Structure 1
Amino acid sequence: MKSSVTSYGSIAQFLHWCTAIVVLVTFMYGPGGHEQRVYSAAHDFDRQLHETLGLCVFALTVIRLLWRAFDTRPETPPMSRWMAVMAATVQWLLYLLLLALPLTAISGAWLEGHPLTLIGGHEIPSLLSTSHAVGSAISSLHTWLGDAIMWLAGFHAFAAIVHHVFLKDDVLVGMLPRWFPTGRARTGR
């Protein structure tokens, strides 16, 4: 369950892939557009699903960071210094975005005067005073950050594939479950 010197453990892998899937689905169900469109009756289900999954992203990220604090990390395979710095930078930017996205969504909605509405119609009322202009600006930032995380996650995935296919190291394999056919036999696992 815990990570080893060569591979992430099953808990870290589960949290990683669960977060990736939830972020992708959340992005796909984001109603997008101006405030009247987002809060229209026609997009009510999409918004409720988006807001519910967004809170799940936040919870998963907090759990991941707590687990990361106690779990060991696999050794980084030999790579150039610029690659190691880039990998660390991308990882921390992803964590930052995973926290910033839900927080900007919540604060933007509340400042615009909207409660969070979860699946099933459960509402979380605003804990902030209404400031529509600030809320609108934060909601716009949220949209921009949503696009940014998709680009950064795509770059992260592309880099993992480059490591696997061209550099032939275990960067990608270390985050894949044991049952996934990845060529683990090549490394003796």
Structure 2
Amino acid sequence: MTTSSSAAAPAALAHYDRATIVFHWLTALLVVGLFALAEAWGFLPRGTPTRRLLQSLHISFGLLFAAVFVLRAAWRLSAGRRLPPATTGWFRIASTGAHGLLYALMAAQIVLGFLFRWAQGEPFAFFGLFDVPTLIAIDRERRHFIGGLHNTVAWTIVILALLHALAGLFHHYLLRDGVLRRMLSSR
């Protein structure tokens, strides 16, 4: 198998640490799963047990997503392996901007999820193990606005994540520079 000269670039030799890789793929799985749950219950009649189950799972996995996001951000800011940039110029600017925007949107989505649930005036629980207390009283009139914003941010995250995945495939198959392999196991 032949490789281009850029395949021997430092990006091909370096990998992120195991925790960073696990946080990345767990975040991706949770984002896709949360989005799929929300889209699926939209096809079900209101008040049905299946719809309520999907909503309950969405809330529980959303709380898990919030915990993973906080741990991921703390890891990234403290102990996570920092690799040299794999690209330069516009690719680097686009990559840095996209990552920053994804982090900002995910943080906003977590806040919006809590606000939306509190605006609904209903308790929410983590897989039935414990209830999350209402910390802020939000009038029900703002519920539709917050819910609409939560939905818009979700779609924005999914579209940006899809572009992020396509960029990884572009690097892997067209540029052959090892960028995708950085986020795979170092074994």
* TM-score calculated relative to the size of structure 1: 0.82
Q: CA deviation at 1:58?
A: 1.1
Give the secondary structure class of the aligned counterpart of 1:177.
Answer: coil
Matched ranges for 1:144-163 at <5 A = 144-163=152-171
- Counterpart of 1:183 in structure 2 is none
- Counterpart of 2:83 in structure 1 is 74
CA contact (8 A) 1:112 1:136 kept: no
Paired amino acid for 1:76: P
Q: CA deviation at 1:52?
A: 0.7
How far apart, in 2, do the equivalents of 1:12 and 1:58 lie? Answer: 16
How far apart, in 1, do the equivalents of 2:54 and 2:32 lie? Answer: 14
Q: CA deviation at 1:121?
A: 7.0
Structure 1 range deviating more: 17-26 or 112-121? 112-121
CA contact (8 A) 1:111 1:131 kept: yes
Larger RCO (alpha carbons 8 Å, 6+ apart): 2
Q: CA deviation at 1:83?
A: 1.0
Structure 1 range deviating more: 136-145 or 123-132? 123-132
Q: What root-mean-square deviation, in Å, do the aligned CA atoms of Structure 1 and Structure 2 show?
A: 2.2
CA contact (8 A) 1:160 1:171 kept: yes
Identity %: 28
CA contact (8 A) 2:172 2:180 kept: yes
Give the secondary structure class of the aligned counterpart of 1:123.
Answer: strand
- Counterpart of 1:8 in structure 2 is 16
CA contact (8 A) 2:20 2:81 kept: no
CA displacement 1:98-142 (0-9 Å, x = unmatched): 211121011012123122233237432422224112122111100
- Counterpart of 1:55 in structure 2 is 63
Runs of 4+ in 1 over 6 A off after TM superposition: none
Which of 45, 54, 72 aligns to 2:53? It is 45
> Structure 2 stretches of 5 or more lacking a match?
1-12
Give the secondary structure class of the aligned counterpart of 2:59.
Answer: helix
Do the aligned partners of residues 32 and 141 (structure 1) sit closer, same or farther apart at CA in structure 2, a change above 3 Å counting?
A: farther
* TM-score calculated relative to the size of structure 2: 0.83
- Counterpart of 1:135 in structure 2 is 143
How far apart, in 2, do the equivalents of 1:139 and 1:68 lie? Answer: 30
- How many aligned positions are there? 172
- Counterpart of 1:123 in structure 2 is 131
- Counterpart of 1:29 in structure 2 is 37
